[in-house]
Amino acid sequence: MGNKQELKIYLIEENEEKHWVSAYNVEGATKQVEEFKDFLDIDIDNIMPKEVSKSKWKDHNINNTEYNPKVPGMDWEAMTFEEFMKENTTPCFFCSSTFE
């Protein structure tokens, strides 16, 4: 058996905005943000992803801005990063202060 890589959470801060992505490494985190750079108006040359310690995942929440109790998958109001990462199996852009 080989070593299975674990997804990590990275924080990207740019001006007043904060964005969180899951990725296996810093390069992957940068790639996730790069895919959304035009939508979020991010200067990709100036970002420095910072890993969020796994011990802090329980202290951060994701608020579902599209909450709808009648729609499967959208029927949650909030969850911790820890709860999200139990279900998340692929690198992704998952949270931003842009939408608060």
pLDDT band at 37 (very low <50, low <70, confident <90, very high): confident
Q: How high is the pLDDT of residue 10?
A: 94
**Per-residue tokens: 60:** 């951060």
As a whole number of angstroms, the distance between CA 10 and CA 19 comes to 8
Q: How high is the pLDDT of residue 71?
A: 93
% of the chain exceeding 70 in pLDDT:
94
Angle at 97 between CA 79 and CA 35, to 5 degrees: 100
Listed by start position, the domains of the chain span 8-95
As a whole number of angstroms, the distance between CA 76 and CA 63 comes to 9
pLDDT tens-digit series, residues 27-36:
999 888 888 8
pLDDT tens-digit series, residues 47-95:
889 999 999 999 999 988 889 999 998 899 999 999 999 988 899 988 8
Q: How high is the pLDDT of residue 51?
A: 96
pLDDT band at 1 (very low <50, low <70, confident <90, very high): very low
Contact 17, 36 (CB under 8 A): no
CB within 8 Å of 8: residues ≥ 6 apart:
22, 23, 24, 25, 29, 51, 52, 54
**Per-residue tokens: 95:** 């949270």
Q: How high is the pLDDT of residue 38?
A: 76
